[in-house]
C-alpha cells in the first residue's frame, strides 16, 4: 500500500508565472518524483499569496481571517511537507511572505518539514534564506531541511541549481517518510505552548489540573 | 431575555462631518443615550472602563450612578470593569455603593484589559494579568459575602479583619458577568461561582465564542449550579439599522471603514458575513440576531454596540428608536416562543433577593457603634456575633 503525503507549496511570487513559483514548483516536482521512487504518493497543493494579499493585510490589522486565508491555513494544517518560496526585496523576504507566516497560530506548523526557497535579481542576496528566513521558521518550530534553495538570474542557467533542488527535495522526502512530524505531535504536543483555539482552531484541550485552573476555582495559585 | 446597549466610550472623529466631539460633548451624549435606551424600552445600559484617550470612561460607577438617578427601570452595567488594574477592595466598595443608589438596578461585567501600558500606571504587569484577574475576583467574591475578611494573596496587601462597606443591598451581592474571548480559566471561574459568562461576539467569527460558551455551560453544570441550559450567558452584537437595507449600508459604510479596531481592514460585506455585525433593515437585524441562540444556546442578555466609530449623537438616538421600536419587540416575541422552557430567567436584583430569602425579609445590616476597629470581636454588625 502506498502512503500518501500532502505537500503544500506557498509562493509569494507576484507575476504569473513568477520565477519564485517556478522554483517552488521545481522543488515540489522533484519531491513528488523522488517520493514516488520510494512508493510514496504526493498530492501537491499550491497557495499563491498574491491572491490572498488583501486578506493577509486585513488579518494583520484586524485579526479578521478571510475565507481564502482560512482555506490556506487549513491546507497548511494538514500538510505533511511545505515548500515556502519568496522573492527577495530590499535584502529581505517579501513582506507578503513574512506577513502570511506571522498571522499563523504559533503552533500550526510544529514539527512540519519545510524547504525554504528564494529568488532574487542578484546573487548578493544569496544568504537571505539562511540568515533571515530560517529564524522565522525556527520560531514556528518547523524542521527546515539543511539545503536552502536560492536562485538569482544566473542560477537559472546553471545545473548546480538542479542539484541543490534534488538535495533539498530528498531531504524533505526523508523527513516526511521518517514520520518525524507525526511522532512529535502524537507524543509531545502537550509540551509546546498552545492557546485555546490555536493550531488553526483545532487546539481545544483544556487542562483542568493547572495552577491557574485551581485559582479560577477559588483556590490559591 | 434582556436587551441593551453597551458603549466602549470611544471619542472618535466623525468621518463624515470631520468633527471630533469634545470630552464634554461625548459625556453629555452618553447620558442622553442611556436615557434614550430606557425610553425606547431597552433593559440594560453598559459602559466600558478605560484609562487612556480617546476614551472618557475612567470612572464608570460615577457615570452609572448618575444614569441610575435619571432613569426608573434601566439596569446599569459595565463592559467591562477591569478586574486586573483595579483594587478588588475598591470594586467591592464602589459597586456596592452603586447598587444601593440604583436600588439594585445594576450589575457588572469583569474583564482583564489588553492595553499593556495601562498596567504599570496602576502598579501592575500585563504578564500577570490572568492570575491577577482570578485572584482579585476570588477576593471580590468574598468581600461581598463575608462581613469580615482575612485575606492574603500575591497581588495586593493582605487584609486583616476588613469589612467592605456598604454591605451589598439586601445583603445580595451584585450579579457578575465574566467577559472573555478565548480564556478557558475565565469561563471556569464564572462556572465555579455560578456567575454569568459574556462573549463580546463582535470581532471574530462565532466559532471562537461557541467553544468557550460550551465549556462554560459544561462546567456550570459540573459545579452543580443547574443544567447546561440554565447557565447564564450574555452576548454582544453590533447593528446599524435603517428602514431600507441599502440606506443602512450606505449610511454606515464610512463609519465602518474608519472604525477603530477593524476599520481600514476587511470589506463591510465580508465582515457582516463572518461576524455578528448586521447592517440592514429591522427585519434583517432581527433575522441575524435570531440565529445567535441557534449557535450559542438560549441566553439571557443581548447587548448591541450602537454608539461607536464617531457616529453622531443624533444618528445614535435614531438608531435606538429603531432598535427599541422595530427590532427588540419582535425579538422578544420570537425568542419567547422559541426558547427552551428550561432556560434561566435573566438576573435581576429582585429575582436574586427572592432566591435568597423567599418570602422572608432581606437582611439589613446595621453596624455596631464605632469601636475604632473590627479586628477584635466577631462582627461589626448588630445581627451577628
Q: What percent of chain A has pLDDT over 90?
A: 86
Does a structural domain hold residue B264?
yes
Q: How far apart are CA B194 and CA B223, in angstroms?
A: 8
Find, in chain B, the residue whose alpha carbon is nearest to that of A59: B265
Q: How far apart are CA B234 and CA B245, in angstroms?
A: 27
Does a structural domain hold residue A204?
no
Does a structural domain hold residue B105?
yes
Give the domain range for residue B276: 2-357
Structure confidence by residue, pLDDT tens digits, A19-65:
999 999 999 999 999 999 999 999 999 999 999 999 999 899 877 88
Q: What would the mean pLDDT of A118-139 be, rounded to a whole number? A: 97
Contact A204 B204 (CB under 8 A): no
Structure confidence by residue, pLDDT tens digits, B63-103:
999 999 999 999 999 999 999 999 999 999 999 999 999 99
Domain count, chain B: 1
What are the distances in angstroms from CA B38 to CA A44, A126, A137, B286, B335?
59, 67, 55, 20, 21
- DSSP H helical ranges for chain B: 23-39, 60-70, 88-101, 118-121, 129-143, 184-193, 206-222, 245-257, 268-274, 282-296, 313-322, 328-338, 349-357
* B385: confidence class by pLDDT, cuts 50, 70, 90: low
Contact A196 B134 (CB under 8 A): no
Specify burial of residue A111 (Cβ count, 10 A radius: 0-12, 13-18, 19+): middle
- Chain B residues with CB-CB distance to A197 below 8 A: 182, 208, 211
Does a structural domain hold residue A61?
yes
Read off φ and ψ for residue A100, nearest 5 degrees. -60, -45
Residue B8 sits in a domain whose CATH number is: 3.20.20.30
Q: How far apart are CA B189 and CA B166, in angstroms?
A: 25
Supply the mean pLDDT for chain A.
Answer: 95
Does a structural domain hold residue B59?
yes
Give the domain range for residue A61: 3-192
* B202: confidence class by pLDDT, cuts 50, 70, 90: confident
Domain count, chain A: 1
Residue A168 sits in a domain whose CATH number is: 3.40.50.360
Structure confidence by residue, pLDDT tens digits, A91-115:
999 999 999 999 999 999 999 999 9
What is the structure's pLDDT at B9?
96
Q: How far apart are CA B312 and CA B318, in angstroms?
A: 10
Is pLDDT at B366 greater than 80 in this prediction?
A: yes
Chain B contact for A205, CB < 8 A? no
Q: What percent of chain B has pLDDT over 70?
A: 98
- Would you say A136 and A100 are in contact if contact means Cβ atoms under 8 Å apart? no
- Would you say A130 and A146 are in contact if contact means Cβ atoms under 8 Å apart? no
Chain A contact for B260, CB < 8 A? no
Chain A contact for B152, CB < 8 A? no
Structure confidence by residue, pLDDT tens digits, B168-178:
999 999 999 99
Q: Residue A11: is the preceding peptide bond cis (ω within 30°)? A: no
Does a structural domain hold residue A163?
yes
Supply the mean pLDDT for chain B.
Answer: 94
Specify burial of residue A39 (Cβ count, 10 A radius: 0-12, 13-18, 19+): exposed
* B261: confidence class by pLDDT, cuts 50, 70, 90: confident
What is this model's ipTM?
Answer: 0.90
Specify burial of residue B244 (Cβ count, 10 A radius: 0-12, 13-18, 19+): exposed
Chain A contact for B354, CB < 8 A? no
From the CA of A65, how many Å to the nearest CA of chain B? 8
Amino acid at each position: 500500500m502506498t502512503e500518501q503525503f500532502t505537500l503544500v507549496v506557498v509562493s509569494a511570487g507576484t507575476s504569473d508565472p513568477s520565477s519564485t513559483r517556478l522554483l517552488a514548483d521545481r522543488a515540489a516536482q522533484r519531491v513528488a518524483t523522488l517520493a514516488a521512487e520510494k512508493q510514496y504518493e504526493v498530492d501537491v497543493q499550491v497557495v499563491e499569496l498574491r491572491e490572498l494579499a488583501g486578506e493577509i493585510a486585513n488579518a494583520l490589522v484586524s485579526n479578521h481571517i478571510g475565507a481564502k486565508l482560512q482555506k490556506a491555513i487549513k491546507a497548511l494544517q494538514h500538510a505533511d511537507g511545505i515548500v515556502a518560496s519568496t522573492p527577495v526585496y530590499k535584502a529581505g523576504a517579501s513582506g507578503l511572505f513574512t506577513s502570511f507566516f506571522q498571522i499563523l497560530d504559533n503552533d500550526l506548523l510544529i514539527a512540519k518539514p519545510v524547504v525554504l526557497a528564494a529568488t532574487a535579481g542578484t546573487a548578493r542576496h544569496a544568504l537571505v534564506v539562511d540568515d533571515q528566513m530560517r529564524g522565522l521558521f525556527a520560531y514556528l518550530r518547523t524542521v527546515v531541511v539543511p539545503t536552502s534553495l536560492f536562485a538569482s538570474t544566473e542560477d537559472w542557467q546553471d545545473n548546480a541549481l538542479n542539484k541543490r533542488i534534488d538535495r533539498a527535495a530528498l531531504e524533505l522526502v526523508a523527513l516526511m517518510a521518517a514520520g518525524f512530524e507525526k511522532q512529535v505531535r502524537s507524543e509531545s504536543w502537550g509540551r509546546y505552548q498552545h492557546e485555546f483555539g490555536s493550531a488553526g482552531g483545532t487546539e481545544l484541550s483544556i487542562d483542568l489540573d493547572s495552577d491557574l485552573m485551581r485559582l479560577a476555582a477559588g483556590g490559591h495559585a | 431575555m434582556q436587551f441593551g446597549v453597551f458603549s466602549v466610550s470611544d471619542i472618535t472623529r466623525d468621518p463624515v462631518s470631520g468633527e471630533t466631539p469634545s470630552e464634554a460633548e461625548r459625556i453629555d451624549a452618553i447620558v442622553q443615550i442611556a436615557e434614550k435606551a430606557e425610553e425606547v424600552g431597552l433593559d440594560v445600559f453598559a459602559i466600558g472602563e478605560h484609562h487612556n484617550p480617546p476614551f472618557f470612561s475612567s470612572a464608570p460607577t460615577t457615570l452609572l450612578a448618575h444614569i441610575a438617578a435619571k432613569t426608573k427601570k434601566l439596569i446599569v452595567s459595565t463592559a467591562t470593569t477591569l478586574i486586573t488594574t483595579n483594587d478588588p477592595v475598591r470594586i467591592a466598595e464602589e459597586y456596592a455603593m452603586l447598587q444601593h443608589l440604583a436600588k439594585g438596578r445594576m450589575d457588572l461585567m469583569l474583564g482583564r484589559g489588553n492595553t499593556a501600558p495601562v498596567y504599570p500606571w496602576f502598579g501592575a504587569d500585563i504578564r500577570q494579568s490572568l492570575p491577577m484577574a482570578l485572584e482579585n475576583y476570588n477576593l471580590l467574591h468574598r468581600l461581598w459575602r463575608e462581613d469580615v475578611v482575612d485575606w492574603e494573596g500575591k497581588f495586593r496587601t493582605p487584609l486583616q479583619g476588613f469589612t467592605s462597606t456598604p454591605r451589598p443591598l439586601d445583603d445580595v451581592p451584585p450579579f457578575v458577568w465574566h467577559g472573555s474571548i478565548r480564556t478557558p480559566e475565565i469561563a471556569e471561574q464564572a462556572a465555579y461561582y455560578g456567575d454569568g459568562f459574556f462573549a463580546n461576539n463582535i470581532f471574530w467569527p462565532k466559532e471562537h465564542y461557541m467553544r468557550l460558551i460550551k465549556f462554560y455551560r459544561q462546567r456550570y453544570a459540573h459545579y452543580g449550579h443547574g443544567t447546561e441550559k440554565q447557565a447564564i450567558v450574555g452576548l454582544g452584537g453590533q447593528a446599524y439599522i435603517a428602514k431600507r437595507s441599502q440606506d443602512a449600508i450606505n449610511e454606515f459604510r464610512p463609519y465602518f471603514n474608519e472604525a477603530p479596531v477593524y476599520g481600514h481592514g476587511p470589506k463591510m460585506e465580508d465582515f457582516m458575513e463572518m461576524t455578528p455585525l448586521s447592517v440592514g433593515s429591522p427585519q434583517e437585524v432581527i433575522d441575524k440576531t435570531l440565529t445567535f441562540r441557534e449557535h450559542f444556546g438560549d441566553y439571557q442578555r443581548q447587548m448591541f454596540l450602537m454608539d461607536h466609530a464617531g457616529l453622531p449623537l443624533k444618528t445614535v438616538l435614531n438608531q435606538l428608536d429603531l432598535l427599541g421600536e422595530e427590532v427588540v419587540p419582535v425579538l422578544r416575541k420570537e425568542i419567547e416562543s422559541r426558547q427552551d422552557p428550561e432556560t434561566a430567567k435573566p438576573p435581576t436584583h429582585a429575582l436574586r433577593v427572592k432566591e435568597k430569602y423567599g418570602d422572608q425579609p432581606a437582611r439589613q445590616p446595621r453596624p455596631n457603634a464605632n469601636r475604632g476597629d473590627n479586628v477584635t470581636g466577631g462582627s461589626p454588625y448588630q445581627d451577628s456575633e
